[in-house]
Structure 1
Amino acid sequence: MEDNIINNFENRIDTSTLIQELNLLREGINKVVKGQHKTIDLLLTAILADGHVLLEGVPGVAKTLTAKTLAHMIEGHYSRIQFTPDLMPSDVLGTNVFNAATNSFEFRKGPVFGNVILTDEINRAPAKTQASLFEVMEERQITYDGQKYDMDEPFLVIGTQNPVEQEGTYPLPEAQLDRFLFKIDLGYPDEQDEYDVLMMHHQHEKPTNLITEEYKLNPAKLKEFRDLAKKVIVKDEIIDYILKLIRTTRATADFYLGASPRAGVALLNASKAWACLQGRDFVTPDDIAYVIKPVLRHRLIMTAEKEMEGENMDRLIDKVVHSVAVPR
């Protein structure tokens, strides 16, 4: 993302202040989280598109710090749930507790009630606990004992996974993976960023101390910006382009499971949010190309033959993109 985003929205409210504040927000997060610039851009895209994110990376690449920093920067309530084999659905959603004073049961909300919810090592909890997130991720509400409880906005679930250690894990079902807007693979920072991390710790400087008011985004402005992202123009030929990309994944012999209609909606919404972050009021094929891998890489299943060949999912997605004509 360019450092200076130009406001190109026409015949709409003045967004220059919003864009300036969003640039400050991104700058502030980058001060705390070193070497994850694209991850931060995709997280901001997800929160504008009202989508959830699955972060996959080895321990120590700042997955938890990134989620915590984002929550503080948008002045939201941060909640962390450590997923373990003995975690129960009530430990996530909440439960009824008897109140002796009123002689009745009252619902005590669980840690899922917040703005940025970190589900750490989400694949270490059994299926019944993972399933407890289905409703809340899709409908932004939970139903307990016949009563519905709505989530506050914004509501962002950030799940983390370790791609190396698989012992004692429960693979996420396809239905849950499909509810994540993005799957982001976190790599190691480059040499300069890693040097900065070492110096920060050598000088006993806590990363969270770098979170200052000047970089925070007011919740009201965030809501205004999210509403603006929904108004981004998508021409018919761009809609048709997204449709062809999604349907091509179902027709190719490389995939055992292609992308669902929800994947098409996710690609559309993510493209609109990313265009908005670029200061444009319309989606281009380049916007789709930027977000298509994190949108699709967890929704597709390659064939057994491709897995045995050691094929890479991102390369197969590139193959799909190159096989579909780009609209002019």
Structure 2
Amino acid sequence: MTHQKLQQIKQALNAKFFDRKEEIDALLTALLARQHILFIGPAGTGKSALSSMLGEIVEGSRYFQHLLTPFSTPEELFGVLSLKDLEQGVYKRNISGMLPEAHFAFIDEIFKANSAILNSLLTLINERIYYNNGVPIRSPLMTIVGSSNEYIEEGEGLEALFDRFLLRYEVEYIKETNTFLAMLKQTTSVPVPKLTMDELTFHQQVCERVEISDSIYETLGKIRQQLMDEGIRPSDRRFKQALPILRAQAYLDGRTEVAKADLAILKHALWEQVEQKDKTAEIIIQIAHDSIESFIERVGPEFEEILLKSQNAMVQKTPDARKELSDLLVQGKTLFLEVQAMTRQQPDRAELRNLKEHMHQRLLHMTSMVIGF
């Protein structure tokens, strides 16, 4: 049940799906946080192939997948009516193997859901309950991935369904030519490690214990106020639902506390209408990140001080030197994880990548020092 397996899954998915790093991080984050995610984009961008990995990653889970059309009926998602019960005037569906019994699901063209499907789908997504002949049935559903080629339009009656998806991502075609060519040349299938249901439950439970400091809560309040100043008013419920996402982001990076850089994922969660998306991202990125320069000015000297202390401990060789070296190594790894998180959010900044590489090499050296002491 080690965290290392999550990293192996993440690496394998990035090798399997080209130019989908952000979407893969989001999918694994949603999985750990038991939240739902929406992918918006044209056909042929790999939305369904990536989403179907939920069913393959977790062994022993039940996975449901379906493509909706304007003519879809409730039977396609929730099962056919039981003829035996219907003869006795009981309107009951046979839900075996259908969406209400799934742990994970992918619903393609989800905005094609009509009124006959919508109410049951909303309750299932939000409350994880399906009403079969008026009897509430608890669903094991953890994460639904919805997909659509386009956003909803005003007046379609789909606003509530759209709101049920905490994370919303636009998926585009591969941008870089070299990456596109690498995708074309890929001939071998990339195996993806698997989790058991027990392992997933363990990771989800550990995620719930990731700490959120008062400074992070205060920053969330600042984000909320600035969004409101721009006329963007995400619900209190949406902010509350975002907390497990922040914890999962930190845990996926190997940390036990949410960092400021983790807040950047909220640019995919806190807007209400499409036209608010860019402004929301601008506000969140501006508030959530220290400037790159001030971040490096803070982290760089802290890390160099750790290196200096470790060298002194090696020279002095006091009885407590090994423990001191181990503690310093933990401190160095914690700083490295901060840099790793910032680099993930700002991948184009060379100075961050250089700092990350420098820290990585020095931490390898420190690790060998501790082992060989």
For the pair 1:296 / 2:296, whether they are aligned, the reply is no
For the pair 1:150 / 2:138, whether they are aligned, the reply is yes
2:147 corresponds in structure 1 to 160
1:175 corresponds in structure 2 to 160
Match of residue 91, structure 1, among 76, 80, 104: 76
For the pair 1:108 / 2:94, whether they are aligned, the reply is yes
Q: Summarize deviations over 1:120-141 as a string: whole Å, max 9, x none.
A: 0111232442332111111112
Kept in 2: contact 1:243–1:264 (CA 8 A): no
For the pair 1:273 / 2:248, whether they are aligned, the reply is yes
For the pair 1:313 / 2:277, whether they are aligned, the reply is yes
Q: Summarize deviations over 1:89-116 as a string: whole Å, max 9, x none.
A: 343223431239x979663116313122
Match of residue 229, structure 1, among 193, 203, 207: 207
Work out the CA distance in 2 between the residues paired with 1:56 and 1:195.
Answer: 24
Bigger relative contact order, structure 1 or 2 (CA pairs below 8 A, ≥6 apart): 1
Give the drift of 1:281: 1.1
Figure out how many residues of one structure are paired with residues of the other and give that number: 285
Kept in 2: contact 1:24–1:216 (CA 8 A): no
Change in CA separation of 1:251 and 1:55 when aligned onto 2, cut-off 3 Å: same
Which region of structure 1 is more displaced relative to structure 2, 64-73 or 169-178?
Answer: 169-178
- The alignment's TM-score, normalised by the length of structure 2, stands at 0.68
Q: Indicate the SS of the match to 1:58.
A: coil
Compute the RMSD of aligned alpha carbons. Answer: 2.9
Change in CA separation of 1:192 and 1:115 when aligned onto 2, cut-off 3 Å: farther
> Can you give the 5+ residue segments of structure 2 that lack an aligned partner in the other structure?
296-373
Give the drift of 1:325: 10
Change in CA separation of 1:85 and 1:219 when aligned onto 2, cut-off 3 Å: same
Kept in 1: contact 2:263–2:284 (CA 8 A): no
Work out the CA distance in 1 between the residues paired with 2:145 and 2:287.
Answer: 32
2:13 corresponds in structure 1 to 29
Work out the CA distance in 1 between the residues paired with 2:16 and 2:288.
Answer: 40
Aligned 1:1-328 pairs, distance under 5 A: 17-75=1-59, 76-99=61-84, 107-109=93-95, 111-112=98-99, 113-152=101-140, 155-163=142-150, 171=156, 173-189=158-174, 190-200=176-186, 203=187, 207=189, 210-211=190-191, 215-253=193-231, 255=232, 258-289=233-264, 291-297=265-271, 300-301=272-273, 313-319=277-283, 322=286
One-letter amino acid of the counterpart of residue 200, structure 2: L
Work out the CA distance in 2 between the residues paired with 1:157 and 1:135.
Answer: 13
1:4 corresponds in structure 2 to none
> Can you give the 5+ residue segments of structure 1 that lack an aligned partner in the other structure?
1-16
Kept in 2: contact 1:267–1:288 (CA 8 A): no
Higher strand share: 1
One-letter amino acid of the counterpart of residue 3, structure 2: I
Kept in 1: contact 2:210–2:257 (CA 8 A): yes
Work out the CA distance in 1 between the residues paired with 2:10 and 2:83.
Answer: 45
Q: Summarize deviations over 1:118-161 as a string: whole Å, max 9, x none.
A: 110111232442332111111112112121222225x2111101
Work out the CA distance in 1 between the residues paired with 2:31 and 2:179.
Answer: 25
Which region of structure 1 is more displaced relative to structure 2, 87-96 or 54-63?
Answer: 87-96
Kept in 1: contact 2:75–2:81 (CA 8 A): no
One-letter amino acid of the counterpart of residue 278, structure 1: D
Work out the CA distance in 1 between the residues paired with 2:159 and 2:52.
Answer: 27
Which region of structure 1 is more displaced relative to structure 2, 82-91 or 186-195?
Answer: 186-195
Kept in 2: contact 1:123–1:172 (CA 8 A): no
Work out the CA distance in 2 between the residues paired with 1:217 and 1:191.
Answer: 34
Q: Give the fraction of aligned pairs with identical amino acids, expressed as a percent.
A: 23
Work out the CA distance in 1 between the residues paired with 2:221 and 2:168.
Answer: 20
Work out the CA distance in 2 between the residues paired with 1:145 and 1:319.
Answer: 46
Work out the CA distance in 2 between the residues paired with 1:324 and 1:46.
Answer: 20
One-letter amino acid of the counterpart of residue 202, structure 2: E
Q: Indicate the SS of the match to 1:197.
A: helix
Change in CA separation of 1:22 and 1:139 when aligned onto 2, cut-off 3 Å: same
Which region of structure 1 is more displaced relative to structure 2, 185-194 or 220-229?
Answer: 185-194
Kept in 1: contact 2:261–2:289 (CA 8 A): no
Give the drift of 1:252: 2.0
Change in CA separation of 1:192 and 1:74 when aligned onto 2, cut-off 3 Å: farther
Q: Indicate the SS of the match to 2:2.
A: helix
Q: Indicate the SS of the match to 1:242.
A: helix
Give the drift of 1:250: 2.6
Change in CA separation of 1:131 and 1:193 when aligned onto 2, cut-off 3 Å: farther
Give the drift of 1:244: 3.0
The structure with more radius of gyration: 2
